[in-house]
Amino acid sequence: MQLAGATHTWCRCVSRIRRSGLSTTAGERCLLDELQWSDESTVFTETRIGGYERNGGRYEARRVKWAVVHPAVVSNDGHLVNDVALLLLDRPSTTRPLLRLPGAVPRPAAAPGTPLTAIGWGIARDKNGNSYDPALLQEAVVGMMAVKDCPPYFDNGDAWGTQFCAGPPEKRIDTCQGDSGGPLIARSSTVPAGDLAVGVVSWGDGCAAKTPGVYADVAAVSPWIHNTIQWLLHEDSAGRIPGPPTAAA
């Protein structure tokens, strides 16, 4: 899923979850940064669901009615923590399959060593090491790392209760700029009952460098996601959430 901003396209990959009118993305990287560029009511001109091409191709178009960033996306000491947001679409998506949300335990929802698939249109490198913007949706398989193995790479305070790392760095496979907000998925071949949203691409130090990628832990914010979904649907059904801006707005 792509979010097309009124001023520029910032977040190109967003997770579709099993509430077909709702999606998850990265809060700080995809929404708070974007809102610095444009008025909140017109920041997202279109969302494109189910497309594989950066420009054009076949996709399902929707508008964002409302966006909710996790209230504790930045900790008191300034570290990025609960980097998750929810988007309410103007009407449900018909694209399938959707991702399952994990419960609050275990945290994270995948064991160390589990292969996880990251999806996005972020910066890629060719066989000669040259960077480019891919025309087609990309995916990479990274390995889940134990939470205790992440702090040695980064000084991020006590933020590891809501984040985890995947890599490992010696594999030189990673997400990059432009992938933020995209899903990190445990495929149905490794978990029962369908693809599972384990993480959301958040941040890192370089791309496929000497450090792993950092991902928001979906299980850690699962209660907030479920509660916010219920609130959004209730407020929307009561007519208290305005619709997306019109083309003339």
Give bridge partners of residue 185 from the DSSP assignment: 117, 197
Is-catalytic flag, 38? no
Residue 186, strand partner residues? 196
Q: Outline where DSSP puts E strands in 28-91.
A: 44-49, 60-62, 64-69, 85-89
Instruction: Report how far apart the first and last C-alpha atoms of the chain are (Å, whole number).
Output: 24
Q: How far is the C-alpha of 230 from the C-alpha of 238, rounded, in Å?
A: 12
Q: Which candidate, 142, 146, 86, 147, places its Cα nearest to that of 119?
A: 142
Do residues 204 and 173 touch, judged by C-beta distance below 8 A?
A: no
Phi-psi region of 139 (alpha: psi -120 to 50; beta: other; left: phi over 0): beta
Closest CA to 216 of 165, 140, 158, 153: 165
For residues 17 and 1, the answer to whether their CB atoms sit within 8 Å is no
> Is 83 a known active-site residue?
yes
Q: Which of 15, 23, 93, 180 is catalytic?
A: 180
Neighbours of 48 (CB within 10 A): 20
From residue 108, alpha-carbon distances to 99, 102, 184 in Å are 16, 9, 12
Catalytic residue IDs = 83, 180
